[in-house]
Structure 1
């Protein structure tokens, strides 16, 4: 019996690109991308050039698909200013195509539930989850906090700030908690999502750190320990603009990311080990691996 066909969206992104390489050779794979030249096709990888705004093209790409991975987020460098509206439109388009194709399962990577507040970008992630979950078939959502890995916009920006600034001025969100997860753990969980029971699963690393502790530890692991100064306020627009001056990212990515820091991003039930059988990678090991990547 032939292996079922998998559809992968977001295959040129930070997570999607790694998932693509992990899925190669496991069975037929169809990647939907806006620029086909950015992906190497192969005997088991079909590349379809299409935009998720094109409902007809997405419906065609869904033909014969068993499971679809949805790894698309508009909040990225060069993305739409109104990323929430765009993400809503794209998710609705894919859900509609999935209904028409009688798709068995959708797998989505979103964000954890924020304790103490929710930013626009985290609210958008959960809205996309709600839209996709209603398509009529099986639905699995992974919810992650900060993902540690080379190529992650948020991690790379933070690493560059710590490396390039002699003193780190940390706003009021410095005391908020986060539970970073290694990219290798995320990819392993995504691969396993085809076999788990439908539902939403929180995934995280083993370490709970305040953002100040995370920043200080990152500097130590870089070999660039930095002193910190506590600011009595937080302003995401100002923070995003300043961070853009010292990193390779732009304000369209950084401003909503900064707004998302003003809440605790931790999980009560970490599904990595309990559901997926994955031992969570400690923060230091995840960062060391990311910093060593070419």
Structure 2
């Protein structure tokens, strides 16, 4: 199967490509990988990369600018139209976790909109939603690390009282890589949850404990039954994170 991994230089993409070719020890494009530079905001610049069977499409940004939602919407539309025209069979989209009945942040609302736009394509769409990914350079986890190191003098925001299920980056990659091998995931939305339900204060304390500065169960459990992954406990994921960071620095 020929697979396109968009945003291959991003937090997930730069780890996903080696996982897909089963050569995680290499850096840069492994054998059999073709690099294409394009921008879904610029029709005509990326279509050459769509001559594939399937694609991972994290079409969204963390831009602080007010127009990020419009840009994400346009990029998703351009991708959906071009991928459909190219006859692509399957796309996996990685979005953010959050209950619709709750007030979603502007970025999470944009993620949902991107899901809806991508779903208009003629390909099968698998949507995975994840909350905090525990790994180096993960925006959510780096925020937790900062709070853990500064908690004695930090006023924490209201969202720290909520529950969540952090996911180790290795587990997320395993689910992403395995999804294309399980047809039952096509056309579905799945939550990618870690094995533990914790509050943000507990997450902060336990993260700090690993650096010497210690200052309601999810209902969507279908994906682990479809894609066999042995979930990494939160403490183990945090323990590995400094090692993963060192490996990245050496690269």
TM-score under structure 2 length normalisation: 0.87
Higher relative contact order (CA 8 A, sep 6+): 1
Within 5 A, what are the aligned runs for 1:7-18? 7-18=4-15
- Cα distance in 1 for residues equivalent to 2:22 and 2:174: 15
| Cα distance, 1:194 vs structure 2 | 0.9
When the two chains are superposed, the root-mean-square deviation of aligned CA atoms in Å is: 2.0
Which residue in 1 is equivalent to 2:134? 148
After superposition, what is the alpha-carbon deviation per residue over 1:60-96, rounded to whole angstroms, capped at 9, x for unaligned? 221x2110111233115xx644221111111111101
Residue in 2 that maps onto 1:52: 40
Match of 1:105 in 2: 90
Matched residue, 1:120: 106
Aligned-partner Cα distance in 1 for 2:8–2:207 = 28
Q: Shift in Å at residue 290 of structure 1?
A: 1.0
Equivalences, count:
238
Pairs within 5 Å for 1:177-192 = 177-192=163-178
Give the TM-score of the pair, scaled to structure 1: 0.75
For residues 271 and 149 of structure 1, the distance between their equivalents in structure 2, rounded to whole angstroms, comes to 24
| 1:72 corresponding residue in structure 2 | 59
Q: Deviations over 1:210-235 (max 9, x none)?
A: 11111122111221022xxxxxxxxx
Equivalence for 1:90: 75
Instruction: Indicate whether 1:159 and 2:149 are aligned.
Output: no
Whether the 8 Å contact between 2:60 and 2:114 is mirrored in structure 1 is no
Cα shift at 1:165: 4.8
Corresponding residue for residue 281 of structure 1? 232
Structure 2 CA distance, aligned partners of 1:142 and 1:171?
Answer: 27
Distance in 2 between residues matched to 1:285 and 1:134, nearest whole Å: 39
Is the partner of 2:35 in helix, strand or coil? strand
- Residues 87, 267 of structure 1: alpha-carbon distance in 2 compared, 3 angstrom cutoff: farther
What do the CA deviations read for 1:173-208 (whole angstroms, capped 9, x no partner)? Answer: 222111111111100000111122211111100111
Q: Is the 8 A contact 2:94 2:129 kept in 1?
A: yes
Distance in 1 between the 2:234 and 2:228 partners? 18
| CA offsets 1:114-170 (integer angstroms, 9 cap, x no match) | 253211111111111111121012111111111111121221132123224533322
1:155-234 equivalence runs, <5 A? 155-196=141-182, 197=184, 198=186, 199-226=188-215
- Unmatched 5+ stretches in structure 1: 27-38, 227-263
The question of whether the paired residues in 1 share the 8 Å contact of 2:36 and 2:46 is answered with: no
Contact 1:112 1:267 in 2 (8 A): no
Secondary structure class of the residue paired with 1:14: coil
Alpha-carbon spacing, 1:170–1:42, altered in 2? closer, same or farther (3 Å): closer
Can you give the 5+ residue segments of structure 2 that lack an aligned partner in the other structure? Answer: 247-251
Query: Is this contact kept in 1: 2:18–2:30, CA < 8 A?
Result: no
The match for 1:23 among 20, 26, 34 is 20
